[in-house]
Amino acid sequence: MNVIVIGCGRLGSQLAYRLFQRGHQVTVVDSVEQSFELLKPDFRGRTVTGEALSKEVLERAGIAMADGLAAVTNSDTLNAVIAHTARMLYKVPHVVVRNYNPNLRPVLEAFGFQIVSSTAWGAQRIEEMLGGAAVHTVFSAGNGEVEIYELIVPPRWNGRALGDLLESSGQYLAAALTRAGRSSLPVADTRLETGDLLNVSATAEGMAALRSRLTGEEA
């Protein structure tokens, strides 16, 4: 893929390097040339110095042939304008926007962008850790609205049916069950065993309810 990263701060430089390591053709754009010093020495992508709002700068970066663009500056307004330009004018297939200020997230959502809000996501993770969460998050979709959790079935649920644990709340679904190193797609009448690893797709509210059932209900 040909990918353009707008903004070479801590996030942009890490993203550019990760894309480069995966074999993508990467061009990084920043208005401050010294910002490129954050890139690792073995980075072999292109760098373009200039204001990303400039049509000339974007075209020098190869936006007409880009497969993807990530606008990850610390300005939500700038990210929004660049993303809109990339999507509407240059028809870039994959556009992702960084949300820096959570209070401005609704503005970005109104444009229908794919958004990553590291602040909101990080706050949610820290909240879970401080709360002593007994489950492990293995995948986060969007900005954490839905996640896949891995939990260990406790002894109180040994022999019970999965359907008894996962009531029809609409806020969680079983994704996989692993027993003795082998995974399967569980169904409602699957009998749980102590130590099973259960992957559950859930909202934050759904996971809170499920934690309560796991730890607070007598089998």
Of 11-25, 100-114, 163-177, 198-212, which has the strongest mean pLDDT? 11-25
Six-digit token pair at 210? Answer: 């499920």
- As beta bridge partners, residue 203 has 146
Q: Mean pLDDT over residues 173-188, rounded?
A: 91
- Higher local confidence (pLDDT), 25 or 207: 25
Distance CA 129, CA 163 (A): 28
Q: Mean pLDDT over residues 66-85, rounded?
A: 96
Q: What is the mean pLDDT of the chain?
A: 89
Q: Mean pLDDT over residues 32-57, rounded?
A: 97
- As beta bridge partners, residue 137 has 149
How many Å separate Cα 172 from the centre of its chain?
19
Q: From residue 157, give the alpha-carbon distance in Å to each of 76, 146, 214.
A: 47, 25, 8
Domains of the chain: 2-119 (3.40.50.720), 128-216 (3.30.70.1450)
- Higher local confidence (pLDDT), 29 or 103: 29
CA dihedral of 184, 189, 195, 197, whole degrees rounded to 10: 40
Number of neighbours of residue 57 by Cβ within 10 angstroms: 17
Q: Mean pLDDT over residues 79-99, rounded?
A: 96
Six-digit token pair at 182? Answer: 């082998």
Distance CA 147, CA 137 (A): 7
Q: Binning pLDDT at 50, 70 and 90, where does residue 219 land?
A: very low
List phi, psi (to 5°) of 200: -125, 130
Q: Are 176 and 184 in contact (CB under 8 A)?
A: yes
Distance CA 29, CA 160 (A): 56
Q: What is the pTM of this model?
A: 0.69
